[in-house]
Structure 1
Amino acid sequence: MIKIFTIASLSAFIFAATTNLLLVQAVTAKPVQTKKQANPAKPINSEVRIYPANNNLPASRLITIESVIKKSSKMRITEAKLTTYEEFASQTGQYKSSISTDRMVWIVTGFVQGELRMARGRIVCTDNAKIVQVIDAETGDSFGRTIYCTPNNEINFMHIPQTP
């Protein structure tokens, strides 16, 4: 019996066939198209949002008092006032350079009955905390809030007595 293929010739044949197949694929393959991102991803908090003046907008472009009250649903609201950020900042001294002084804001004042808990369940006030929130009148974004505890109801986390 005559052997047509030896192991060496079989290996050479497989190598040649594989190489030929790869060359055909390389020549006929379409180049891979990569899309460029229109807006490349930026790290979180790498850019501060700027709030320009909007005190010349018509009232129809601002959020309503009803929307503000919904955002503050856990409070017993005592006052909600539409004003400029300048008026708020001049009373509190809390200026933010990213907010124009001619930006319209809602200042919402109210009380929360019972314990007021913050992030991770920490209690700040044991009862009747007064809260002043500043809400952007155009977007509804919160610009912050201040919490005031009535005397003897504030918990100071820096000086908690330790039990022996």
Structure 2
Amino acid sequence: MKQICTIVNIFIITSLSAFVFADATSLLLVQTVTAKPVQTKKQVNQPIPFNSKVRIYPANNGLPASRLITIERVIKKSSKMQITEAKLTTYEEFAANTGDYKSSISNNRMVWIVTGYVQGELSMSRGRSICTDNAKLVEIMDAETGDSFGRSIYCPPNNEINFMP
């Protein structure tokens, strides 16, 4: 009799274990199937894919002068400064002088380099430095489209205020 009770107990324990295992497996399977994917944040500095909207500026040094923007238009776009020089040149010449190469701009792209001064205070967005007077600006502009490729600002000594913490 004792042996039959032991066999029955083993059978009951085995059956319960199998039932618990099957129930837990079903629950995990349902959770896996119905679970939403985990959202991850994008990296801040992800590489730019080849098919992105980064504009490529191919060589245009073979274009006739009539297809390039005029010095008058350059001066009008840079109206906030007193222009001391506006020079039409290739991007290669500009980059060789500054060391500022951009892979999206061909070395044989025609650009305007505009140099001038801003009288009075020059402020920039996002709390960047401010020149209190006579800031020197060097702006590079695409000679075909008029797009700005960047600007450098130089403050005379004792005229720069830095609001960065």
**Please, what TM-score do these two structures have when normalized by structure 1?**
0.67
2:79 matches 1:73? yes
2:62 matches 1:56? yes
Q: How many residues align?
A: 115
Question: Matched residues in 1 for 2:136 and 2:94: separation?
Answer: 17
The 5 Å alignment of 1:16-31 reads none
Letter in 2 for 1:74: K
Q: What percentage of residue pairs aligned between the two structures are identical?
A: 82
Of 42, 53, 62 in structure 2, the residue corresponding to residue 47 of structure 1 is 53
Partner of 2:15: none
SS at 2:73 equivalent: helix
Letter in 2 for 1:57: L
Q: Please, which runs of 5 or more residues in structure 2 have no aligned partner?
A: 1-51
Partner of 1:97: 103
Question: Matched residues in 2 for 1:116 and 1:122: separation?
Answer: 11
- 1:79-125 deviations in whole A, cap 9, x for unaligned? 00000000000000000000000000000000000000112576510
Greater than 6 Å deviation, 4+ residue runs: none
Question: Matched residues in 2 for 1:138 and 1:151: separation?
Answer: 36
**Residues 96 and 122 of structure 1, relative CA distance in 2, 3 Å threshold:** closer
Q: Please, which runs of 5 or more residues in structure 1 have no aligned partner?
A: 1-45, 160-164
Partner of 2:94: 88
The offset of 1:157, in angstroms, is 2.7
Checking the alignment, whether the CA contact within 8 Å between 2:129 and 2:162 is kept in structure 1 is: no
Checking the alignment, whether the CA contact within 8 Å between 2:127 and 2:164 is kept in structure 1 is: no
**Please, what TM-score do these two structures have when normalized by structure 2?**
0.66
Partner of 1:139: 145
Checking the alignment, whether the CA contact within 8 Å between 1:108 and 1:132 is kept in structure 2 is: yes
